[in-house]
Structure 1
């Protein structure tokens, strides 16, 4: 007997009385390996079918990998443009069933039965034509900022004859998306001169009815004003971050008048309660600092909470201490601030990481050391800073697990490895403790930017899809290893999936699963025959038996695409891929 695929992505919290999300072809077939408590949670982007009663208003996130338990298939996107269908029916074996090349650079996708709803950037030329797919051997060109995005419905019922059923041109570059119920919401960033864009930079939210996946329909659009990029430290506005509930989208970013007003951040609230996809403008929330990450925003028990810092988008350490604001969500059009606290820091430092967990919150700031701050939000009117802990390096992402926190961090000065996983005891918020830290990965990075853009598998809004924390005590971390000069020509030397064992009291470094082609995901598929981990990169899908996590054995390797250069826009945000600079791009190789 074989268990369901596990991607470690849980079902999102739904409003009281709403239905449980169905994924993977059967309701609940994907294991909930990551019991995040409060912040918005993303399930794999599959609903299996169109059962409105089973999946109504479920919140689903897209991913580059989709899983089909009923047919034992893996669907995987490559940065090089391919969409591959892999048969994983027999434990320890993988078989390529078919491939199709998509226009542009694939971003993410959803699965609705035998249809994949894909999103790609750089797919619509400046003259409005859908660009022809590149051949697999072709080099991926640097992004042309005049080009636009594309949403496509791909029929994969017969993997050997996958075909595009419908396409929709979307102005700009995809920043993020969600499916809520039977509606797909896509947020794109327009730079002011791409095809179909407005005359100035802005954010556009487009809704699509996907109740019939083979024939999706565009429903509505809302655009938000551009920011005054030229006056904000010379940096261009970044793509906005999205937080979703069953009835609302929160779209956060840089305020239009950030250079001239006291508050630099803005969060636009959109009413998405209409099950057919009609959008309505809601409240506008002003924040002290810009929103550079989805994790800065959260809604819990009728209250919206946000952490921001003035100046953090244009200076390394910000120019004020971060603020926590709590708003009572009376309706989509009425957000009333009821609580506020300014963080007390040991020195001026930049906000880097935020995570909410029910009545708790955690924040990371960074200069040379990396303090972890804890907060009690049980009284919305009196958010309270409780404790702090100074640690080296920078914790990039936090995963709450009750009385412990697991953090994925980076430290280019660490000779034992530029990446690390930390285990924190937060049973007593007033006295957080570092239980253990394990370092791994490359040792030749020379900056935080190089690690966030060349080593980590995803940006900060999507890193939780790569950093896997499984319920049986396994952690899997995909990463790429740059060569001596940041260019390793796709050899993959040193790249792979790092395994660790975790409990509430310990972290143990286990095997490194070597892999080429930019490792990006780790999928669990255990059976009576073996415990199996399937690693996915841009170029390969590889099966490993992990019965002994210190001595793994590779059992299958199938080529699914080509290794494409890692291209990222230069910018600040939280020093990740959050900002867009229009004066160049950072190129690389398949490190």
Structure 2
């Protein structure tokens, strides 16, 4: 492992922005005046988009995608009866994101496999265990209630229901667990849909799911493509409205989304629907979920507290797609969301960090082209959108970022944006959005490798977690970088901590694995490292760094003990938390409490 080095040689380059691709035509929101109108329009749209083998796999490729000064929830919390503690590393304060561990400063709740466990932070003991009916890996916590989210593919009852390329029907299951006493399930909710993501604002959990029509197309296909499409259209003409409306079961009572809860943009395919279910975790029952649906697809969720944005692109469906990202805005200040507006921008998003709302303006960073193509024609842009009635209207943009490259990381902090693109080197672009109608690229820093996650440590310091690389773009292992962004025209890398050949961190692709504790200037990231030649022992643990004004200093390393039946491989540390003066690290086999420098073990609680 290399030490820390200040890299004065990493000098900023002169920014060269160009005009971005023209925005797509404005989209507007339209409601349906009756169920008959909804069914008629759904059939017409579905017939226009159906293919010889049905609706294809919209949403299937995206199933695995759905993912600070602005990350206020990761900062200090606490009250009169609880020590200061870190929460989930969320994108935005006020919009808590589901994760495999949650804490309120008094207790730590973890979920792994089908097991939920409760740890008392003061006594450092496990005080509760619960076996869940099925696998789950994320949850939301409010008061004495935990909402556990699970998603699985169910086997089809018969071959006639199977679709080419699909293993079965999607199902999302929710369990409301009471922590008052021994943990127990007090309410359940099941919907036949793919789980996209969820957010918690106050006591209200918003759970977003995706569905495709339950229409059985004939499997015995003969004839040319046009004749097959013609036969499929006949099947669609016979499909009832219930084929499109998601069905659910709440505590044994069956229900379905009402046609009055469905809205649509100007254009849509009729092959997908996104539904937001809403649950008050202050209550002991989940209820019917007060659903609100839109005829669209959605694979990226971004929440600000009062607003919720859904985004969808077709990057994984190959050439011939529309090459844009559709955006949908909901007002979520009440229990039931109100669908406000829709819009679109050219290109595709990296993840939810590609979106940011500031003073009523949504900023979106996108890359044009397809992710599997190494085309020199690819480029990235930043767009600013403002709501105008039922439309999210593009009011400004700047393009020409990383020609021949694609976005690897984005972070917006107030009116400033930072965009990382990569192919051989890592340009870190600084974008001034103080006038959203005229965004300006003010700086470009080129360094080897790239950052996959950016986190503001202060008003003028930025932390990057990503991969080191040689001059040809060949990655060499995880690196943590400290940037000086005090000048919008000349960002500098002040320090670099390289893990070594073959290393990687879960924080590179899941920001929930990242912890920065400002009070102690402590940075904690999980790291896996090994010798690619097989000559050294693999290692896995939590790396602890002290963040100085111009330096990164390693202060500790925390590992978890492997069970005797699994001693052949190191245990992956997944998450870390600070509660008072204790650092807690979490893995699938247990939780460990240490001092903040990781030097002294205070407790090891094996699962």
If the length of structure 1 is used for normalisation, what is the TM-score?
A: 0.70
Q: Write the mapping of 1:170-569 to structure 2, written as runs, cut at 5 A.
A: 170-190=191-211, 202=272, 204-217=274-287, 218-226=289-297, 240-254=299-313, 259-260=319-320, 263-273=323-333, 275-277=334-336, 279-316=337-374, 319-330=377-388, 333-345=390-402, 347-400=403-456, 401-411=458-468, 418-440=477-499, 443-444=501-502, 451=504, 455-456=505-506, 459=509, 463-471=510-518, 472-481=520-529, 493-515=538-560, 516-526=570-580, 531-546=581-596, 549=597, 552-560=599-607
Deviations 1:246-299 (A, max 9, x none): 3321111215998546642211222323x122x333322211112230011111
Paired residues, what number?
468
Contact 1:290–1:313 (Cα < 8 Å) also in 2: no
| Partners of 1:316 and 1:350 within 8 A in 2 | no
Residues in 2 aligned to 1:27 and 1:335: alpha-carbon distance in whole angstroms = 44
Aligned positions of 1:87-236 closer than 5 A: 87-90=120-123, 94-122=124-152, 126=156, 146-159=169-182, 162-190=183-211, 202=272, 204-217=274-287, 218-226=289-297
Cα–Cα, structure 1 residues 33 and 557, in superposed 2: closer, same or farther, change >3 Å? closer
Q: Which structure has more strand as a fraction of its residues?
A: 2
Q: How does 1:26-65 map to 2 (within 5 A)?
A: 31=85, 40-42=91-93, 58-65=94-101
Contact 1:59–1:180, Cα closer than 8 Å, also in 2? yes
Residue 317 to residue 361, structure 1, CA distance change in 2 (3 Å): farther
SS across alignment from 1:390 = strand
Higher relative contact order (CA 8 A, sep 6+): 2
Equivalent residues of 1:269, 1:284 under 8 A apart: yes
- Are 2:87 and 2:577, in contact at CA under 8 Å, matched by a contact in 1? no
Aligned equivalents of 1:373, 1:8: Cα separation in 2:
19
SS at match of 1:60: coil
**Following the alignment from structure 1 to structure 2, what is the Cα–Cα distance between the partners of residues 165 and 214?**
7
* CA 182–544 in structure 1, closer or farther in 2 if over 3 Å, else same: closer
Change (3 A) 1:388 1:166: same
* Closer, same or farther: CA 394–81 of 1 in aligned 2, 3 Å: farther
- 2 CA distance for matches of 1:475 and 1:325? 32
Q: Deviations over 1:562-591 (max 9, x none)?
A: xxxxxxxxxxxxxxxxxxxxxxxxxxxxxx
In the aligned structure 2, how far is the partner of 1:149 from the partner of 1:507?
42
8 Å contact from structure 2 (residues 453, 508) kept in 1: no
Q: Is the 8 A contact 1:395 1:409 kept in 2?
A: yes
Deviation at residue 27 of structure 1 after TM alignment: 9.9
Instruction: Describe the SS at the equivalent of 2:511.
Output: helix
- Cα root mean square deviation, aligned: 3.8
Consecutive unaligned residues of structure 2, counting only runs of 5 or more, are 1-67, 159-165, 217-241, 246-269, 561-569
State the partner residue of 1:17.
none
Which consecutive residues of structure 1, in runs of 5 or more, have no partner in the other structure?
1-6, 14-20, 43-57, 129-142, 227-238, 446-450, 561-591
| TM-score with structure 2 setting the length | 0.69
Report the Cα distance in structure 2 between the residues aligned to 1:245 and 1:505, rounded to whole angstroms: 32
Larger deviation: 311-320 or 511-520? 311-320
Please report how far the alpha carbon of residue 371 of structure 1 lies from its aligned counterpart in structure 2 after TM superposition.
0.9
More displaced 10-residue stretch of structure 1: 512-521 or 381-390: 512-521
